[in-house]
Structure 1
Amino acid sequence: MVNSIEELNHVLQQGCNAIEADVTFAGNGTALYAYHGIPCDCFRVCDKSEKITDFLAYSRDITTPGHKNYTKRYSLLILDLKTSKLSDDHVKFTAGKSFAKLMSKYFFNGGKSDSHLNVLMSVDRVNDRRFIDGFNTEFRTSERMNNKIGWEISYDDPISVIENLWFDVRVIKNIWYSDGITNCLSLFRDQTRLIDIIRKRDGCNNARNPYCIRKVYQWTVDYKPQFRLALRRKVDGILTNEPRKLSEVLEESEFQNSFRLAQPEDDPWSVFKRN
C-alpha cells in the first residue's frame, strides 16, 4: 500500500522492486486518487494520498531511462482498483473506459513512453467484469500498451469462477492470481486456496490453454517465517510492508540460489519454469 509520491520514494529506497497503489473512484466512475483510508494494514498510516494522474506520471518518469530520477529496480506497479464500490455495471463500464484514457495519457504518454514499468490491473471481483470490458473497449487497438498490462481478480472468488471469466473475456492473456488478507490476520489465514492456485499454475499447459496463470503472489506477509514458507511453496511474489526483512530472507542459504527480485528485463507475463 503506497499511495503518495513521498511513500513511493521511501519504499524504493528500502529496496522494493514493485509497489501496490489503491485507486479510488468518484460516483460517476472517474478515477481520482491513490488512496486507501481507514481501516488498512496494521502499523500503517492509512490516509496518505496523491492525485492518481500525478502518481502515474511520476511512476512513468522515474522508470524512463535517461530521466534524472531514473530508478531501474522499480519493475511493477500493482493498481488495486476499488471497483466493487462502483454502483452498477453501467458505471463500471464507464469507469473502465475513463481509466483506459487516463492510463494512455498519464502513464503511456499517448503511446510515446519509454518507461520499462509494467502494470498489473487488480480488479476486486469477477462481478466487476464490466470495468474490464470498458477498459478493453478503449484500449484494444494498442498492442504495445497492452503488452505492458496484466490483470488479476484480487478478492477470493472461487478459482473456477475466475478461470471462466478469462475464458469469457478472451482477449486477456497476461493473467496473475493472488491470495491473502491484511497483515493483521495473515498469520491465521488458511493456505489451501493459495496452494491450489500454485498447483494450477504449475499444471497448466500454455500451448493448449492461453489463459494459464502466469504468476502467483501472496499478500500481505510481514514476518520472516511467513516469507520462508511462501518461498518454499514457490510463489512468484510477496506483497509486504517489510521489504528489508524479505531481502534478508532472500539472502539466506536456502533461498539465495533459487530466488531473486525481478528486474525490468524479466517478463512478468510468462510462467517461470522451475526445476
Structure 2
Amino acid sequence: MVNSLDEVDDFIEMGANALEVDIEFANNGTVLGTFHGAPCDCFRGCFKRETIADYLEYIRDGTSFADSRYKGKVILLIMDLKTSKLRSSAKKKAGLTLAAKLWKHLWEGVQPQYMVNVLLSIGYVKDKNVLKGVLKYFKKEQTRHILDKIGFDVGMNDPLEKIGRMYKQLGINGHRWQGDGLSNCVRFLVPVARLRQAVKARDNRKGYMDKVYHWTVDLPHFIRKSVEHGVDGIITNRPDNVLQVLNSTPYSELLKVADFNDSPWTRFIEPMLRNETERDMEVLGGGEVEERLSHPANFDPYEITAVWTE
C-alpha cells in the first residue's frame, strides 16, 4: 500500500526492492490513480492518493535513467487493481486505459534494460476482462516488447484450479504470480493451507504459478515462517524486518535476495530451508524466545526472490 510519493521514498529507503500500489478506477473503467480507502492494514493511512500520471512518472523518473535517484533499486511494481466492483462492460476499458497510462507515463522513452517490471493483480477471476484489455493494448506491433515487462496475479482467494483455467482461456503461459494471505490486522490467526497448496503446485510443476508470495507479513516471527513455507516473495509494511531476518543465520547463508539483475518471472534453484509443517493454521505465539535460530529439520532446493512492501 505505497500509494503516495512520500511513501515511495520511505519504503525504498527502508530497503524495499518492490512496491505494491492500489489502483482506483472510475465507474466507467477509466483509471484514476492510487487509492485504497478504509479498511486497510493496521497502523497505516488508508486515504493517501496520487493521480496515475504523477505516480507513474515519479517511479519512472526515480528509477529508469542513468542519473535516477533509485536506479537499480526497484525491480517490480505490484499494482493491486480495484476493479471488482466495476460493471462487466467497464472492465476491458479499465485494462485499456491502464495500459495506455503505463506506456505513456512509465515506459515510453525508457531503454528496455531500465524499465520497471509491473505485476498486474486483479482481485478475482471475474475481473479477467481487465487483463484482456491490457493484452489487447500491448499486442500492437509498436508495444509488443512491453509484454516482457508484465506479469499477472489473481490476488484474493479464488480456487487455484479456477485461476489456472482463466490463464488457459487468456493464453497466458508465463509470468504468473500467486498470492495468498490476509491483512496484518489478523496475522494472529493465519490459514496457510492454500499457500502450501500453491507452493506444492509450483514445485511439482502441475500448477500454473511461476512464483508464490505471502501477504501481509510484518513481524520477524511470521516472516521466518513465511520463508520456511517456501515463498518467493513477501509483502510487508516492514521491509526493515524482512532484511533483518534475511541477513540473520541461517537465512543469510541460503537465500538470494532479488536485485535489478534478476527477472521477477524466472525462478532459480538454490539450497533453501523448508518447514514442512502439517498445520494448516498458525497461531500467534513464541516471540523472540521461541523463534528458532537453527536450521529446520527439512531442506529442499529453493530460492526466494524477496518482494517486501505493502
TM-score by length of 2: 0.83
Distance 1:172 1:100, change over 3 A: farther
Cα distance in 2 for residues equivalent to 1:65 and 1:100:
21
Q: SS in structure 1 opposite 2:214?
A: strand
Structure 1 residue 187: Cα displacement: 2.6
1:212 and 2:211 are equivalent in the alignment = no
Distance 1:9 1:272 in 2: 29
Deviation (angstroms), 1:43 = 0.7
1:52 shift after superposition: 1.3
The one-letter amino acid paired with 1:200 is: A
Q: Tell me how far 1:143 sits from its aligned partner.
A: 3.2
2:260 and 2:208 map into 1 onto residues whose CA distance is 22
Question: What is the match of residue 16 of structure 1?
Answer: 16
How many Å apart are 1:100 and its aligned residue? 1.2
Partner of 1:79: 79
Aligned partners of 2:52 and 2:101 also within 8 Å: no
Contact 1:100-1:139 at 8 Å conserved across structures: yes
Equivalent residues of 1:104, 1:111 under 8 A apart: no
Decide which of 203, 225, 231 is 2:221's aligned counterpart: 225
Cα distance in 1, alignment partners of residues 11 and 135 from structure 2: 31
Shift of 1:112: 5.6
Matched with 1:5 is: 5
Aligned to 1:208: none
- 2:248 is paired with a residue whose SS is coil
CA deviation string 1:245-268 (max 9, x = no partner) = 111111111100222321111011
Matches within 5 A, 1:42-81: 42-81=42-81
8 A contact 2:79–2:118 mirrored in 1 = yes
Report the 3-state secondary structure (helix = DSSP H, G, I; strand = E; otherwise coil) of the residue aligned with 1:85: coil
Question: 1:182 and 1:9 mapped to 2: Cα distance?
Answer: 23
2:257 alignment partner in structure 1:
261
Query: By how many angstroms is 1:2 displaced?
Result: 0.3
* Aligned-residue identity in percent: 36
Q: Aligned partners of 2:144 and 2:174: how far apart in 1? A: 12
Which residue of structure 2 aligns with residue 92 of structure 1?
91
Match of 1:189, SS state, is strand
Assess if the C-alpha contact under 8 Å between 1:21 and 1:79 holds in 2: yes
One-letter amino acid matched to 2:255: F
Distance in 2 of aligned mates of 1:188 and 1:165? 30
SS of the residue corresponding to residue 114 of structure 2 reads coil
Amino acid at match of 2:197: D
Q: How does 1:155-166 map to 2 (within 5 A)?
A: 155-166=156-167
TM-score w.r.t. structure 1 length? Answer: 0.93
- Is 2:184 aligned against 1:183? yes
Which residue of structure 2 aligns with residue 167 of structure 1?
A: 168
Between the aligned partners of 1:33 and 1:108, the Cα distance in structure 2 is: 17
2:273 matched residue in structure 1:
none
Match of 1:252 among 209, 225, 248: 248
Q: Which of structures 1 and 2 has the bigger CA Rg?
A: 2
Asked if the contact 2:65/2:110 (under 8 Å) is kept, the reply is no
Cα deviation for residue 114 of structure 1 reads: 5.4
Instruction: Give the Cα separation in 1 of the matches to 2:120 and 2:196.
Output: 23
Kindly indicate whether the alpha-carbon contact (under 8 Å) linking 2:64 and 2:110 is maintained by their aligned counterparts in 1.
no
In the alignment of these two chains, the number of paired residues is: 269
* In 2: Cα distance, 1:59 partner to 1:23 partner: 14
Q: Which moved more, 1:44-53 or 1:59-68?
A: 59-68
**What's the CA shift for 1:172?**
4.7
Residue segments in structure 2 that go unaligned for 5+ positions in a row: 271-300, 302-310
Report the equivalent of 2:120: 121
Deviations along 1:107-153, one digit per CA (max 9) or x if unpaired, are 11167665341110001100011111111111113332110010000
d(CA) in 1 for partners of 2:227, 2:263:
19
Match of 2:305 in 1: none
Look up the equivalent residue of 1:266 and give its one-letter code: D
Structure 1 residue 194: Cα displacement: 0.1
Which residue of 2 is the match for residue 41 of structure 1?
A: 41
The 1:172/1:110 distance shift into structure 2, 3 A limit, reads: farther
In the other structure, the counterpart of 2:286 is none
Question: What letter corresponds to residue 223 of structure 2 in structure 1?
Answer: F
Task: After the TM superposition, list the runs of 4 or more consecutive aligned residues in structure 1 that deviate by more than 3 angstroms.
Answer: 110-114
Q: C-alpha distance in 1, partners of 2:263/2:138?
A: 21
* Map of 2:101 onto structure 1: 102
